[in-house]
Amino acid sequence: MTDSSPPFRAVALLLPNLTQLDLTGPAQVLSSLPEVELQLAWRTTDPVRCDGGWSIVPTVSFDDAPQADLLLVPGGQGAFEVLTDEVVLEFVRAQAAGARWVTSVCTGSFVLAAAGLLAGRRATSHWASLPMLAEFGAVPVRERIVADGNVITGGGITAGIDFGLALAAEVAGEEAARRVQLRLEYDPAPPFDAGSPDRFGADAAAEIARASQEARRPLVDAALRHLRRT
């Protein structure tokens, strides 16, 4: 029996210097759905180095990427490094215009913001960077998954797995998402209780956030100037 239904096309941006779990977490979830075809897209198909120092090979270049049903933008330092890159931003805008869902994990939301896609939208990001999203006209929300219309953003790094399962339910239904959760044995049991600023210690976390935002301030400022230049 031939299944002639077109695949559900997910296209993820494979950013150099990305925080790879932002991508590989939801990728594992989405790849567990038989109807999903996942492409990893970058400017060329040369291997792309992630934050761990090893490389992932893009499956398509920007020029050859199909129109996404779902666009996924991961984060990390690499996200901040493309915020004024018009080739990247134009690819994101073009994909977003035709996608059913426009999504990001962690600081990938800054790429959506820099492309002008979060103006007036509720959205989230990594906890340490979230406040800066407001400067792009977004409404920052401290939740692991935030949906505003067809824009779905996930919180920091490991939030991508929770986010991936929520996307799976949107794409294939809740029953399919539950089967994926079982297959991935996603019954999390962190050995420590330090996964959010409050649990880690609010004062120490605030200092981490302050230092992180200070370090990224030049790239964010450049992005805002770039966004406002037209």
Catalytic residue of the set 72, 106, 146, 224: 106
Scanning the structure block, which residue is given the tokens 């007036």? Answer: 120
Q: How far is the CB of 128 from its own copies (least distance, A)?
A: 8
d(CA 169, CA 171): 5
DSSP string, 112-149: HHHTTTTTT-EE---TTTGGGGGGGT-EE--SSEEEET
Q: Min. distance of Cβ 192 from its own copies in angstroms?
A: 5
Q: CA distances (Å), 212 to each of 97, 136, 160, 228, in order?
A: 32, 18, 20, 24
**Residue 144 burial (CB count, 10 A):** 18
CA dist., res. 41 & res. 56, Å (int): 11
Considering the complex, state which of residue 30 and residue 224 has its C-beta at the smaller distance from its own copies.
Answer: 30
Within 13 Å of residue 198, how many CA atoms lie on the same side as its CB?
1
Contacts to its own copies by CB under 8 A: 19-21, 24-25, 27-28, 31, 38, 40, 47, 51-57, 59, 106, 126-127, 144-145, 155-159, 161-162, 165-166, 169, 174, 177-179, 181-192, 194-197, 199-200, 205, 208
By C-beta, is 113 or 159 nearer to its own copies?
159
CB of 109 to its own copies, least distance (A): 13
The residue type of 87 is V
Q: Provide the minimum distance between the beta carbon of 226 and its own copies in the complex, in angstroms, as a whole number.
A: 28
Q: Which is nearer to its own copies, 45 or 84 (CB)?
A: 45
| Residue 47 or 137 with smaller CB distance to its own copies | 47
50 noted as active-site residue: no
Nearer to its own copies, 210 or 225 (CB): 210
Q: How far is the CB of 28 from its own copies (least distance, A)?
A: 4
At 175, list the tokens. Answer: 């029953």
The alpha carbon of 34 is separated from its chain's Cα centroid by a whole number of angstroms, namely 22
Active site amino acids: 106
